[in-house]
Amino acid sequence: MSSTQTSLASSDAAPPTKPLRAIPGSYGFPFFSPIRDRLQYYYSQGRDNFFKTRVDQYKSTVFRTNMPPGPFMAKDPRVVCLLDAQSFQVLFDISKVEKRDLFTGTYMPPTALTGGYRVCAYLDPSEPKHAMNKKLLFSLLHDRQPHFLPEFHDTFSKLFDGLDAAVAGEAKKADFNALNDVSSFEFCCRAYFGVDPASTSLGADGPKKVSKWLLFNLHPLMVLGLPKIVEEIFLHTFHLPPFLVKSDYKKIYDFFYSAAAKTLDRAESIGLDREEACHNLLFATCFNSYGGFKVFFPDIFQWLARAGESLHKRLREEIRSVVKAEGGDGSITITALEKMELAKSVVYEALRIEPPVMFQYGRAKKDFVLESHDASFEVKEGEMLFGFQPFATKDPKVFKDPETFVADRFVGDEGAKLLRYVYWSNGRETDVPAEGNKQCPGKDFVVMVGRLLVAEFFMRYDSFEAEVGTVLLGAQITITKLSRATS
């Protein structure tokens, strides 16, 4: 660990000691400047270059700018942008920032998309229902934990069968993303509620209906490749009318109301309205879990494909030797997963280099001073703070070769010290989710399932090859070669 990393790790509680500097940047003219910035962000500069250009211009990783979507969906697009690992951490400090209605950013989707309720993701920890809903999610994760591994094995074995069939077929290739959409949704429903959605009235269309609903929530942040004027009007200026997805959402809701009956009984026992709790469970399952796995699992395979045979060999040797030592029947256990140091590191590195959640927001509760690596900045009560996570988790003052996927970056004691700078879960990887904070209640579940995906794959295959492209929110993986396990 470098001296810079050591100083960061020990300075969180220290008073500001860096030179005080006015926050650079400007919001420009109301209405017109936010639209200009939106066009630069989506089209003329592109997302990453939008931020890099301003870092170079202001010679600072902290600056003022407007964030999309702007008019007319966002009442106030003005933010203080935080792009380094040091300043970013203030977004986790609920004594300084409020998280009310900021889950998706400067805009909030219509509550008609969530049954008329503000679900837990949009609640601040100061609101009583935040703790109640989070308590319900914690209890669900705890009660269903014994089912996670066997349900994953059964569900993703079918995905692997699909890969085998497609690669052996006429096309000689397999669309991992399409198969993953089906398997991830099935896994989430079976793992949390013990129900296969395809065997219910929801049928096999569940993933498509949920993906359509996700689009209605997230379209202000998307570029679909349509003509610019069409995207500006229909995606970035006005909300898509919720009634267009109402019937799909009702079918999803009806499925959850039945499948989650036992969990809804518990919700009522702790004082939550049954209907409201159902909308919260639907959101946590479909948006947080399934929506996350739609992005996260292809990203893992992106980096595995790019790394090639040398990493595959190391992974399969580690995974198989650990599983053999743990009993030898080929079953993967929690204890075995914990001993797979390289596999764990691969998952952490995938979360670091391309976090499935890119944005974090918080509104200042009071005046305070925040620090970047180089300076201190005064923040005023009411100002919106925005962190672009891929820059913070690829901070060159924390991580060596930050743009490079380093599979064993988090192996060993020195690697473990870097985990506090992995921020994907709305908190540090070393933090613990609690009812009183905004960290993802399923943080450990997501990491475990990521490891499980890697372990299950390399128990079955020696190696693979894939074409890597891009889709709306992540990587498109097309498997072109699979080498079944030989030992």
Q: Give the per-residue pLDDT at 15.
A: 67
Q: Give the per-residue pLDDT at 14.
A: 57
User: pLDDT tens digits, residue range 36-77?
Assistant: 999 999 999 999 999 999 999 999 999 999 999 999 999 899
Q: Give the per-residue pLDDT at 275.
A: 98
Given pLDDT bands bounded at 50, 70 and 90, which one contains residue 482? very high
Q: Give the per-residue pLDDT at 372.
A: 97
Residue 70 Rama label (left phi>0; alpha psi -120 to 50; beta): left
Spatial CA neighbour of 206 closest among 253, 257, 260, 148? 253
Instruction: Please tell me the number of Cα atoms within 13 Å of 187 on its side-chain side.
Output: 32
The helix (run of H) or strand (run of E) holding residue 130 is helix 128-168
440 labelled as ligand-binding? Answer: yes
pLDDT for residue 308 is more than 70: yes
Residues present in the chain in total: 487
CA 219 to chain centre: 16
Q: Give the per-residue pLDDT at 162.
A: 98
**Using the 8-state DSSP alphabet, how is residue 287 labeled?**
I
Q: Return the number of other C-beta atoms located less than 10 Å from residue 129's C-beta.
A: 18
Q: Give the per-residue pLDDT at 403.
A: 97
User: pLDDT tens digits, residue range 77-122?
Assistant: 999 999 999 999 999 999 999 999 999 999 999 999 999 999 999 9
User: pLDDT tens digits, residue range 345-359?
Assistant: 999 999 999 999 899
Give mean pLDDT, residues 450-461: 98
User: pLDDT tens digits, residue range 384-399?
Assistant: 999 999 999 999 999 9
Q: Give the per-residue pLDDT at 472.
A: 81
8 A C-beta contact, residue 443 and residue 422: no
Instruction: Provide the residue type at 277 as one letter.
Output: A
User: pLDDT tens digits, residue range 147-179?
Assistant: 999 999 999 999 999 999 999 999 999 999 999
User: pLDDT tens digits, residue range 338-348?
Assistant: 999 999 999 99
pLDDT for residue 8 is more than 70: no
Taking the alpha carbons of 373, 375, 379, 383 in that order, is the dihedral positive or negative?
A: negative
Give mean pLDDT, residues 200-226: 96
Q: Return the number of other C-beta atoms located less than 10 Å from residue 4's C-beta.
A: 13
Q: Return the number of other C-beta atoms located less than 10 Å from residue 445's C-beta.
A: 18
Cα dist from 292 to 144, 254, 284, 411, 448, whole Å: 19, 22, 10, 25, 14
8 A C-beta contact, residue 98 and residue 91: no
User: pLDDT tens digits, residue range 255-306?
Assistant: 999 999 999 999 999 999 999 999 999 999 999 999 999 999 999 999 999 9
Given pLDDT bands bounded at 50, 70 and 90, which one contains residue 329? confident
For the entire predicted model, the pTM comes to 0.95
Antiparallel, parallel or unpaired: β 62-66 and 78-82: antiparallel
Q: Give the per-residue pLDDT at 6.
A: 36
Cα torsion 150, 156, 161, 163 to 10°: value is -160
Q: Return the number of other C-beta atoms located less than 10 Å from residue 330's C-beta.
A: 11
**Long-range contacts for 216-219 (Cβ within 8 Å, ≥24 apart)?**
216/109, 216/113, 216/240, 216/242, 216/244, 216/245, 217/104, 217/109, 217/113, 217/287, 218/104, 218/473
Which residues share a beta bridge with 63?
81
User: pLDDT tens digits, residue range 12-30?
Assistant: 445 667 999 999 999 999 9
User: pLDDT tens digits, residue range 226-246?
Assistant: 999 999 999 999 999 999 999
8 A C-beta contact, residue 216 and residue 245: yes
Determine the longest span between alpha carbons in the chain, in angstroms.
67
Q: Which residue do the tokens 């820059």 mark? A: 391
Cα dist from 31 to 11, 54, 384, whole Å: 40, 20, 17
pLDDT for residue 7 is more than 80: no
The 3-state DSSP composition of the chain as helix, strand, coil percent (nearest 5) reads 55, 10, 35
CA angle 365, 366, 371 (to 5 degrees): 100
pLDDT for residue 407 is more than 70: yes
* Helices 291-307 + 176-193 axis angle, to 10: 130
Output the six-digit token pair for 80: 């203080």
The helix (run of H) or strand (run of E) holding residue 247 is helix 246-259
